[in-house]
């Protein structure tokens, strides 16, 4: 039996993570044989990003000359064309409107290349090998800088007519809400995406109620409110900080509203949530659960499952790899 | 070639509409051969509703003894099981938790029976023969007592893992909004469903601004504000009433918010809208369009299409019929 060895790449706004991934014959198990991380250099334009990709792929091919690679799977921000080759408008990438990444890389390495949106690659990894493995249908969310998503229907990723599906972060939860990066008002992302959450935390710290103890958030931020990010809020909450707990509780409750809308419209019951902030654990997940529970339709309520993702940072690379097989 | 003759039935809360429908050999055209309407008697319990169904089916079979019926398609409120036979909790039907309508009717008439949710039957009719015929993927909405929906993906109805998909009326547009029939807050239905819209209209009439002319809504309602329903608001708007126009404009704008959420999450661009209130025409559709336009993601904006349904009251029967073939 020929080994099923692939290269899986996850292009992020700051780093490119890449791995050589081997799958067993039934594809129900995988093994990461080696990993590399290089800078993406997204602000230097697509040519530089492609050079970085060439570099990391070359390294893997040179180090594993005896291997018969099946192909290269690539997860990337932005909308990926239906033929899984061209990447459109990845946010925070300079000078990049539309690049046929699949073609460029195939030309260089003569291997099959599959490109897919990064939330979708992570979703499919969780569906096959992670927290979603027991469920045919679920919503996958990455809660980090933004709120990205992937929709798994009948064990497959739902890509939509142009490949852009899964933008769960841009579901409105309050039409009079804050202006979102996308131009709309009151998207769930505009409440709980990293930048917005940090900003709201700063405001709350400035108006902290008199009966509250001094917030551990300030201590952890080294007295510089500009350094506040969700990991600091999570840490403060874990150390018992009242305000930090309230902020995470509210964020979870708000996310639950968007999830309930999706559950109701699509008849779903399961959400798998990954990304940095979701690591804050039980407090946040309990808040999400009770919010979805109070808002979902009667037929859905008894079967709601909200669980953390399992594969963490590797999900993107593994998911990208599975598309190759 | 054997003629493709079916019986299509649309069970509503007040009437059962039924038709003998003939399809041509390629199934791209249909012809309604005859129609009947009987009372549903939903409040008298499932046995009585079934008796009404038996009556109308019997009539058709007796009147068309020479016909070789292919089967009976039935559209009904409530959630229909994945095997398209059992109907769960149709709202406003007394004593009805779960009834295997398909089995009961098959036992009596020995014909193939397919049962489907009524919004889904109407959606599939619009997809095959109506306003959605040119689109592979769209949202179908029935805006009436509630806001029902069906989701057409790749020309097929998306039913969800348990058959309950399409509850677009229960997408939240403001999490602090009014309490909805379903128990959630701020569902789009809780703003623009018939009962809610009429109620809000009454409140606005009681607090009519001093610089407004006397509202034609009051005149049309015969001075009894309790008789106000969306058809009166529509008629008043058509006659130029300022308040009525504002109400419809606002309703359309609100509906657009829910549609934009769906478009963003599912990568869709087309909505087909039927039901009583949608008949108010251009004013409402323009409002929906401009609302979706302002709220959808950049990649979706250039291709947004919001159009009225074409088949009106017959959509349910025709859609139910097509499921038989």
Confidence at residue B75, expressed as pLDDT on a 0 to 100 scale = 97
pLDDT at A3 over 80: no
Identify all chain B residues contacting A260, using CB atoms and an 8 Å cutoff: 172, 184
Question: Is the dihedral angle over the CA atoms B133, B139, B140, B141 positive or is it negative?
Answer: negative
Compute the distance between CA of residue B9 and CA of residue B317 in angstroms, rounded to an integer. Answer: 5
How close does chain B come to A315, measured CA to CA in Å?
21
State the DSSP string of B239-286.
TT-HHHHHHHHHHHHHHHHHHHHHHHHHT--EEEEESGGGGG-HHHHH
Confidence bin at B173 (pLDDT 50/70/90): very high
Q: How far is CA B189 from CA A236, A261, B167, B203, B321, in A?
A: 40, 12, 10, 18, 28
Give the mean model confidence (pLDDT) for residues A92-103.
Answer: 94
* B178-B182-B184 Cα angle (round to 5): 50
Compute the distance between CA of residue B274 and CA of residue B315 in angstroms, rounded to an integer. Answer: 10
Confidence at residue B133, expressed as pLDDT on a 0 to 100 scale = 97
- Best of B79, B127, B172 to substitute, by most chain A Cβ atoms within 10 angstroms, is B172
Residues 6+ apart with CB under 8 A from B229: B194, B198
Confidence at residue B209, expressed as pLDDT on a 0 to 100 scale = 80
**HSE-up of B112 (CA within 13 Å, CB side)?**
15
pLDDT at A89 over 80: yes
**Where are the alpha helices (H) located in A64-114, listed in sequence order?**
101-109
Find, among B322, B11, B288, the residue nearest to B152 by Cα. Answer: B322
Between A104 and A4, the more confident residue is A104
Structure tokens at B324: 């038989």
Confidence at residue A1, expressed as pLDDT on a 0 to 100 scale = 58
Compute the distance between CA of residue B274 and CA of residue B314 in angstroms, rounded to an integer. Answer: 11
Asked if the C-beta of B61 comes within 8 angstroms of chain A's C-beta atoms, the answer is no
Q: State how far Cα A299 lies from the chain centre.
A: 29
Interval A24-66: pLDDT, tens: 888 889 999 999 999 999 999 999 999 999 999 999 999 998 8
Residues 6+ apart with CB under 8 A from B31: B21, B22, B23
Structure tokens at A221: 């931020």
End-to-end CA distance of chain B: 14
Asked if the C-beta of B123 comes within 8 angstroms of chain A's C-beta atoms, the answer is no
pLDDT at B2 over 70: no
- Strand A69-76 and strand A4-11: pairing? parallel
Confidence at residue A96, expressed as pLDDT on a 0 to 100 scale = 92
Task: State whether A171 and B264 contact (CB < 8 Å).
Answer: yes
pLDDT at B261 over 80: yes
Find, among A5, A155, A11, A168, the residue nearest to A80 by Cα. Answer: A11
Q: What are phi and psi of A203, to 5 degrees?
A: -60, -40
Residues 6+ apart with CB under 8 A from A157: A116, A120, A123, A124, A127, A150, A151, A166
Q: Smallest Cβ distance to B267: which of A160, A173, A174?
A: A160
- Strand B147-153 and strand B86-88: pairing? unpaired
For B7, counting Cβ atoms within 10 Å of its Cβ (0-12 exposed, 13-18 middle, 19+ buried), the class is buried
Confidence bin at B1 (pLDDT 50/70/90): low
Confidence bin at B13 (pLDDT 50/70/90): confident
Q: Average per-residue pLDDT in chain A?
A: 93
Interval A231-257: pLDDT, tens: 889 899 999 999 999 999 999 999 999
Nearest CA in chain B to A180: B295
Identify all chain A residues contacting B172, using CB atoms and an 8 Å cutoff: 173, 257-258, 260-261, 295
For chain A, positions 10-49, list CB contacts with chain B under 8 A.
none
pLDDT at A280 over 90: no
How close does chain A come to B252, measured CA to CA in Å?
13
pLDDT at B299 over 80: yes
Structure tokens at B63: 């009147």
Task: State whether A172 and B260 contact (CB < 8 Å).
Answer: yes
Residues 6+ apart with CB under 8 A from B242: B212, B213, B215
Q: Say whether A316 sits in a helix, a strand or coil.
A: helix
Confidence at residue A227, expressed as pLDDT on a 0 to 100 scale = 85
How close does chain B come to A264, measured CA to CA in Å?
6
Nearest CA in chain A to B141: A265
Task: State whether A266 and B151 contact (CB < 8 Å).
Answer: yes
Confidence at residue B146, expressed as pLDDT on a 0 to 100 scale = 87
Asked if the C-beta of B182 comes within 8 angstroms of chain A's C-beta atoms, the answer is yes
Instruction: Print burial letters for B9-41: b (CB count within 10 Å at least 16), e (below 16).
Output: bbbbeebbbbbbbbbeeeeeebeeeeebeeebb
Interval B126-170: pLDDT, tens: 999 999 999 999 999 999 888 999 999 999 999 999 999 999 999
Compute the distance between CA of residue A322 and CA of residue A21 in angstroms, rounded to an integer. Answer: 9
Q: Smallest Cβ distance to B172: which of A176, A261, A267?
A: A261
Query: Which strand (E) or helix (H) includes residue B176?
Result: none
Asked if the C-beta of A97 comes within 8 angstroms of chain B's C-beta atoms, the answer is no
Give the mean model confidence (pLDDT) for residues A202-217.
Answer: 87
Interval B62-106: pLDDT, tens: 999 888 999 999 999 999 999 999 999 898 899 999 999 999 999
Q: Average per-residue pLDDT in chain B?
A: 93
Q: Could you give the percent of chain B with pLDDT greater than 70?
A: 99
End-to-end CA distance of chain A: 14
Find, among B114, B122, B172, B130, the residue nearest to B151 by Cα. Answer: B122
């Amino acid at each position: 039996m020929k080994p099923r060895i692939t290269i899986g790449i996850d292009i992020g706004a700051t780093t490119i993570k890449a791995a050589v991934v081997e799958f067993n014959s039934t594809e129900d198990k995988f093994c990461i044989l080696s990993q590399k991380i290089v800078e993406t250099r997204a602000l230097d334009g697509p040519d530089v990003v492609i050079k970085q990709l060439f570099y990391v792929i070359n390294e893997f091919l040179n180090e594993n000359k005896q291997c018969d690679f099946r192909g290269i799977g690539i997860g990337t921000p932005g909308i990926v064309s239906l033929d899984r080759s061209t990447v459109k408008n990845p946010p925070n990438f300079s000078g990049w409107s539309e690049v046929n990444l699949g073609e460029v890389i195939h030309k260089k390495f003569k291997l099959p290349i599959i490109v897919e949106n990064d939330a979708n690659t992570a979703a499919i990894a969780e569906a096959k090998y992670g927290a979603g493995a027991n469920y045919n249908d679920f919503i996958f969310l990455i809660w980090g800088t933004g709120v990205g998503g992937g929709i798994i229907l009948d064990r497959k990723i739902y890509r939509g007519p142009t490949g852009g599906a899964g933008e769960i972060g841009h579901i409105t939860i309050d039409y009079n809400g804050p202006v979102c990066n996308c131009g709309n008002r009151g998207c769930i992302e505009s409440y709980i995406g990293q930048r917005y959450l940090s900003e709201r935390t700063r405001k709350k710290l400035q108006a902290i109620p008199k009966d509250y103890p001094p917030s551990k958030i300030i201590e952890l931020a080294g007295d510089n409110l500009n350094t506040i990010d969700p990991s600091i809020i999570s840490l403060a909450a874990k150390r018992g900080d009242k305000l930090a707990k309230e902020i995470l509780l509210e964020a979870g409750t708000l996310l639950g509203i968007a999830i309930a809308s999706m559950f109701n419209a699509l008849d779903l019951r399961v959400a798998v949530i990954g990304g940095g902030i979701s690591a804050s654990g039980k407090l946040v997940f309990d808040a999400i659960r009770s919010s979805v529970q109070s808002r979902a339709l009667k037929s859905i309520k008894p079967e709601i499952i909200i669980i953390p993702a399992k594969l963490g940072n590797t999900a993107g690379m593994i998911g990208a790899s599975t598309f190759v097989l």
